[in-house]
Amino acid sequence: MLGGGETVIVAVSGGPDSTCLLDVLMRQSEALSLRLEVAHVDHGLQQQSADIAAQVSARVAEAGLDAHVIRLSGLEGPNLQARARTLRYGFFETLAQKLAAHRIATGHTLDDRVETTLGRLIHGAPPEVLAGIPPVDGLRIRPLIGIRRGEARAYCEERGLSFFDDPANDDDRFERVAVRNEVVTVIERRWGPGAVRAMGASSERLWEDARALENLAGRIYAGIAESSENRVTFERSALGPLDRALRRRLLQLAVGRLRDRSGGIEAALDALDEQEGESSGRALDFSVAGEGVITVSAAEVRVARGHAES
């Protein structure tokens, strides 16, 4: 995560996890020659949020660091957490660019990773998404990803570090809280705390396998995909020897970063799996996310992106 000499944006909410994170990085900063910059987002969703932002800023200043604080507004409504996350990370990334930072450190723990994996499993996420929160993702690092949430809290208490508890962490309207209280708690009660660590290990292996398949698919794509404006074509004979998982990733690369809720990619894969029948005789079209068409014919598979004609 850190080799030494980096400028690191440390995301600090004021809760026990991020308070633990900042203290750990401060204790390592001299040995690793780190330059730490603290970022705090006041979501404006609690009456005391402005007070929390002020206290975080004061504590950071006492530690001799700079605090960069932004206040958001108008977040009420559906998909609150998703919109807040998007804005929050947008701020972190903008700040990282401004300060030429090498890393953005967040206080995600093993519990966050497991809860994310379980939540995405409920929605049928693919492996690369099901893997949950990776330790390293571009600029983002999660130094606490291997420890439990309770361990971060215990660390703060042992070190005499004050922190704030966000009421939203107990609000079952939010999916992750519901997963924590209604799924993880039941699993831990039945199988013990080791079950959470085991699920975390599975998440890590999923992430490793997903990256390996993505890298392999990228190399295959470079060798067999014929690209032109808004269109990618594969010879069907080139796709034939490949497993369905690799075919899926090749079509995903051709389609681009679209969420295919219509299932067009899966339908096209079903057609490719057929050894006989109409898919081997006439072309079949499959709509992909309303933004493209996959055409499966006897000779080729063609992906028309955007509103290109098939």
What is the DSSP track for 65-132? -EEEEEE-----STTHHHHHHHHHHHHHHHHHHHHT-SEEE----HHHHHHHHHHHHHTT--HHHHT-
β-pairing, 66-71 with 103-105?
Answer: unpaired
Q: Is residue 134 part of a domain?
A: yes
Residues 190 and 240 in one domain: no
Q: What pLDDT is stored for residue 279 in this prediction?
A: 46
Q: How far apart are CA 116 and CA 204, in angstroms?
A: 12
CATH code for the domain in which residue 232 is found: 3.30.465
Q: What pLDDT is stored for residue 298 in this prediction?
A: 86
Residues 83 and 198 in one domain: yes
Q: Is residue 51 part of a domain?
A: yes
How many domains, the chain? 2
Q: What pLDDT is stored for residue 80 in this prediction?
A: 72
Residues 72 and 169 in one domain: yes
Q: Is residue 214 part of a domain?
A: no
User: Distance of CA 174 to CAs 83, 119, 121, Å?
Assistant: 13, 11, 16
Q: What pLDDT is stored for residue 173 in this prediction?
A: 78
- SS3 call for 230: coil
Residues 38 and 163 in one domain: yes
Is residue 251 packed enough to be buried (19+ CB in 10 Å), middle (13-18) or exposed (0-12)?
buried
Sign of CA dihedral 63, 67, 72, 78: negative
Neighbouring C-beta atoms of residue 108, cutoff 10 Å: 24
Beta strands in the chain (DSSP E): 7-11, 35-42, 66-71, 103-105, 136-137, 140-141, 226-228, 231-235, 284-288, 292-296, 300-305
Q: Is residue 211 part of a domain?
A: no
CATH code for the domain in which residue 68 is found: 3.40.50.620
Q: Is residue 218 part of a domain?
A: no
Within 13 Å of residue 127, how many CA atoms lie on the same side as its CB? 16
Sign of CA dihedral 188, 189, 191, 193: positive
The per-residue pLDDT for range 90-136, each reduced to its tens digit, is 999 999 999 999 999 999 999 999 999 999 999 888 877 888 899 99
Domain range for 25 is 7-203
Residues 253 and 183 in one domain: no
- SS3 call for 195: helix
Q: What pLDDT is stored for residue 131 in this prediction?
A: 81
Question: Between 264-273 and 244-255, two packed helices, what is the crossing angle to 10 degrees?
Answer: 140
Instruction: Enumerate residues 6+ apart whose C-beta is below 8 A from 84.
Output: 43, 45, 72, 75
Query: For the chain, which residues score pLDDT lower than 50?
Result: 276-279, 308-310
How many Å separate Cα 11 from the centre of its chain? Answer: 16
Q: Is residue 57 part of a domain?
A: yes
